[in-house]
Chains A and B, each alone.
Chain A
C-alpha cells in the first residue's frame, strides 16, 4: 500500500531564513514524488516533481526538493523564505503504472515578517 506522511502540521519560519517542509513516503515500487502548494480558497498548484535522475529537483518560485531513497524522504526546501510563501503544502506520491496520487495531510507554512 502507498502512503505519504507529513509529520508537521505547522511550520513557522522567519522571513529570509531557509525553510524545510518534511515528507516521507512508503510505496511498493518506484515512486514518483510531487509537491503542491495551496493558497486559501484556491486549487492546488504544482510545484515540482521527482521521476528519475538527479536527486535534487528544482521547481517553481525558488523551491527545491531532495529525493532520498534510503530515508524514503522528499523534503521541500527553499534557501530564503518569503512572506508570500505562507500557504498549505502537500506532498504526494504515485507508483509507476498507477493512475492515482496519494497525498499527505498537508503542512501549513507561516513565514513571519
Chain B
C-alpha cells in the first residue's frame, strides 16, 4: 500500500531563516505531487505541483520554492521566511483520481 511521509511534524523558525520541508511517498511510482498551505485550520491553498522529476508548477508567486529531485521526493524551501509563511503545510500525491495527504507540518515563524 502507499504511504506518504512529511517531516518535520512541527517547526518554529525565526523570520529571515531558511526553510526545508520534505515529503516522500512509498508504494507508488511517478505520482503527481502537491504542496498545500492551510492557514488558520481552514481553506487549502495550492502552492506547487509536480508531474515528474524536475517538473514544478507554481500556483502562487511567493517566498517559497519547490523541487523534486527524485521520483517520490518533494521538497518545499525558502531562503528567507516571512511571518506570513506560518501555517500548516500539507503534501499530497495522486494517482488517477483522488489525492492522498500526508500528516502535515506545522510551521510557526516568529
Q: List residues of chain A with CB under 8 Å of any chain B CB.
A: 32, 34, 36, 40-46, 49, 51, 88, 90, 94, 99-101, 103-106
Contacts and interface: CB of A to CB of B under 8 A. Distances in A.
B98 A49 contact: yes
Interface string B4-48: 001000000000000000000000000010100000011110100
Contacts of A94: 97
Contacts of A42: 103-104
A71 B97 CA distance: 23
Nearest to B43: A105
Contact of B97 (A36, A40, A43, A49): A49
Contacts of B102: 43
Interface in B51-88: 51, 59, 88
Contacts, number: 50
Given A99-B51, A100-B49, A43 B41 contact: no
Most chain A beta-carbon contacts within 10 A, residue among B34, B41, B98, B100? B98
Contacts of B90: 43-44
Contact of A99 (B32, B44, B103): B32
Contacts of A106: 42-43
Nearest to A103: B44
B99 interface: yes
Nearest to B105: A43
Contact of B101 (A41, A43, A100): A43
B104 A99 contact: no
Nearest to A51: B97
B31 to A, nearest CB: 11
Contacts of B34: 100
A41 B104 contact: yes
A40 B90 CA distance: 13
Contact of A44 (B59, B97, B101, B106): B101
A106 to B, nearest CB: 6
Contacts of B100: 46
A34 B96 CA distance: 13
